[in-house]
Structure 1
Amino acid sequence: MFLTVLGALNVGFLQTLKLFAVTLIGAVPLGLLVAFGSMSRFSPLRYLTKLVVWVIRGTPLMLQLIIIYYIPGRVMGASPWGSGEGGRFLASAIAFIINYSCYFSEIYRGGIQGVPVGQQEAGQVLGMTKDQIFFKITLLQMVKRIVPPMSNEIITLVKDTSIARIISMQELIWAGYAFLKGSHGYSGLIWPLFFTGVYYLLFNGVLTLFFGWVERKLDFFR
């Protein structure tokens, strides 16, 4: 029994890892673009970006996921995501990327605006271009400032992947809950659902150690 449960949970955990990785790959760069939009001197773009960020941050991720997965199919008559697990994963990935890019954008914005203006002015005095000032002065110091809040959001992302089960994506929690409903010939087993917590704890423990190492590596900015 234990090996059967472990095998099913491993499959679910792989889906969780996949969603986690795809979200980071998409949301980290997109969040920076959104941050630039929210700081743009072009007022229509700035206000539009801030409106989108406000809506995304102000509504539950679960609701956003349901809207993204179900509404297009209702409007167009056929789901653009396709059928099966692949379609559910694609919709989940898009919802998570949009959601987390908005949260990351606020962290980026705070990090960029937290760099003293005097240092940018010093770069101008030295004859540096705007791009050189951003990449060699602002960006490096921003990275140091955003590591703690970014690490917190990324650890939250690990746990938020469980929300994808609302559209029946077979992630870790779904795999554990399946044994309660009668999966693999077993029914009424509740311990596999609680055992999923071990996976989250171990993975978040690894991430915590990694981000602690990153912070120590960036201490030279002090």
Structure 2
Amino acid sequence: MSAEQAVAPFDRPTMARMVAADIPEGWYVNLGIGLPTLVADHIPTEREVILHSENGILGMGPLPAPGEADPWLVNAGKENVTLVKGAALFHHGDSFAMIRGGHLDLCVLGAFEVAENGDLANWSTSASDRVPAVGGAMDLGAGARNVWVMTTHSTKAGDPKLVSRCTYPLTALRAVKRIYSDLAVIDVTGDGFVVRDMAPGVTPAGLQELTGAKLHFR
């Protein structure tokens, strides 16, 4: 993608706002560690979306204002969070029963790779001797009714994260239904990757060049 195209990638708050705006009224939603946690700050005030954290929170609110954090109130990523009116706290075993029982409408996760058939790899690249930990990602990928991904379109080395087939250890099979990258919003369909929206300055040809699988434009 050439500099002359004046590409303006979606920044992180914009990505979070886009995800938040697409969540339907009344959905129960888990936000994964990393980029997805930003979505909590952008849920429209007029919409009821109930946020879940696998360490035992239902009714999670936005991040606390500076100096107002409760050190004992954290999400699964150990970040300080707030609660909305009516929130509930419970054992993580009960939390995983909700996940495994199919009671979450949506989980938003980060990713190392997403395949065109919806396979997700987000817990290990096997690139170091550090012992990886999948955490709750496998449960969320299998148990949530919908899985969306928030990620950069490419790695820091410039390799595509959207690929024809994952090369990293899989988290979930055929789970991902939509991807929000810094360059585009893409649905995962029976036909593969279908582009819904692109960041300013991004062209179909330029986006295809940065993607490791065929894109469909409608």
Identify whether the pair has TM-score above 0.5, normalized to the shorter chain. Answer: no
Larger radius of gyration: 1
TM-score (ref. length: structure 1)? 0.25
More helix by share: 1
More strand by share: 2
Q: Which has the higher contact order (CA 8 A, sep 6+)?
A: 1
TM-score (ref. length: structure 2)? 0.25
